Structure 1
Amino acid sequence: MIEIVHVLGAGDKVVARSASLSSDAEAILPKSILELPDVGTDMEPNLELIVELKPDLVLASQRLTDENRKKLEDAGIAVMEDTLTGSRRYECIRNLALILQAEQKATEFINYETYYVNLVKNRVAALSRSEKPLVYFEWYKLWFSTGPGGSYDKLIVDAGGINIAENASTSSPQLSAEFVAEANPAIVIRMSTYLDGEDLASLQTLRNSILARPELSETKAVKNGTVYVIKSVLLVDRDVIGLLYFAKWLHPNLFQDIDPAAIHAEYIQRFFNAELTGVFTYP
C-alpha cells in the first residue's frame, strides 16, 4: 500500500512503515520513507509503537485481526483495511485518494493502468474456450493454488486462460499433486516471495525445482518448458504488470508487440521517478 501512497503524492505524510517492505519497493521509494520506524506487519503489528506515533490513519490489509483493529480504534486511530488485488484495486485507490485529497493523481494512475487492462481484455475477448490454455498457479507452497473469487484466478481469466482449479469450492484451494497432474496444465506459474530469495539465481532455482517434480514430468507445461516464476510484487502492488506477463505467456502470438519489462520500467520512471532494477520473472 505504501507504493500507492507515494504515487498519490502523500509520501511526506507517512509516519511509519511495515516490516514486510520488499527490496523491490525499497529500490524505488525515497530514503525519507525507508528511514521511518518499522511497526511490524499486519499479522504482527507493534501496536504500542503505532499508538505512540499518533497517526490519523493506519492502512492495513485484511490480514489485520479484529482484535488488533479494535485496539487501534480504541486508541482513537482510524483504520482502513483493504487490498490492491483483484476487483478491489481501483476502488481502494479511489477511496485512499479521497482521504488524501489526491483524486487527480489517482485518476492519472488508474487511467495508465486501465489502458493496459483494456488492451489485454480486447485482445482475448474473441477467444473460444478451446483457444485458452489450462493454467496451474501456485502460491508460496506446494500445490496451494487460487480458485473462484481469488485475485490470481482473476489474472488468469483476464489474460485469456482457464484455471485448472476453476471449480474449487474456495478461493485458495489446497490441491493435490494427482489433481494437478491429471489436469495436465499447459502453463505453470509460480509466485515467488522474499522467502524464496530475490535474485536471478533464486528464481532459477525455484523454477528448476518445479521442473524436477516427478508429478509434473508428463504435463504439457514441463514438456514444453512453459513454467514461469513471478515475484509477488507484480501480483499485488503492480498487478497490471503481472497481467501483461500472464497475457504474454498464455498468448505469445497475440502479444508479440507487448514488452512487459519495458512497460514496467516506464511505469516506475513515470510514477516513482526511479530506474527499474532487479529481476521480477524467470524466464
Structure 2
Amino acid sequence: MGGVYSGEKMDGVFSYESSEVDWCEDNYKHSEHVVEYFNTMSSFVFFIVSPVMLYLLHPYAKERSLAIHLVWIMMIFMLDELSILWVLAVGYAIWFPRKLFPSFIKDRSTFSRLVLLVTVITTVSSFVKPTANAYALNCFGLHLLYTLAVEMRCCTDQKALRLAKLSVALWVLAISCWISDRFGCSFWQRLNFCYLHGIWHILIVIAVAYGSTLIAYLDANYEIPYSLPGLQYWPCDKWAVGLPHIVLKGTTKTQKRC
C-alpha cells in the first residue's frame, strides 16, 4: 500500500521509497505527501471494522478464549498483507479443527508453534522479497477454503451456509482484485482505473469478518456446544448485508445444570 512521505532518510529496507512493490495507482497523483492516495485511504477500513468486530465477538471470546481477540487487535494495529497473514496465522492456531491436524502433531500447542514458525519465516522473508507475504497469504487462503469445504459438507444451518457462500465470494473477489492490480496494471491504466488494490483492502477486511465469524461459529459448536451458538448480523439481523457475529443462547451455567 502507499506510504506517507517522510523527509528523514533511513538506510536499508526502511529508507524512503525503498520498497520493491509499487502498486498500479499513480504515485503522488492526488497528494504530494501520500504515494498512493486511494490505496492508503482505503486501509482505514481496517480501523473501522476491527473495533466493531471486537465488540460483537466479545461474548463468544469470553466463553471460549480471550485469545480470539488477537485476530481483530492485529487488524487494528497492523496494515495490509502483513497483518492479514498474521491474522490468518492466529486464526489457524486457535480455530483449526483438531481432527484435521497432521498425524505427527498431537496437540494444539505444537500445531500453534508450527504455524508461528512458518509465519515468522515468511515475515522475515518479506524484507528481502516484499511480495512473499501476499503469496503466503493466498496459500493460507486456499487451504482455508479447502478446510471450510470439508467442514461445511454436513452443515444444514441455512445461515451458516449463506455465510460460507458470501465468505468465499468475497475472498475470490478480493484475490481477483489483487491479482489484476499486480499483473494487469497496463490494462487498468488504459481504462484509467488503477484502484483495485484499494478495493482489495475493503473486500479482504469484510472477507475476514465473514470467514472468521463462520469458523468461530463452527468452533463454538464443537468446543462449547452448551452455549447454543447462533449467527446474527449487525446492525440489523433482517438486513441483507451487515457484519456477522455469534450470539450465545446458553451459558456456562447451562453446562453445569446438564
TM-score, length basis structure 1: 0.29
Which protein has the bigger strand share?
Answer: 1
Which protein has the bigger helix share?
Answer: 2
Which structure's relative contact order is higher, taking Cα pairs within 8 Å and 6+ residues apart?
2
TM-score, length basis structure 2: 0.31
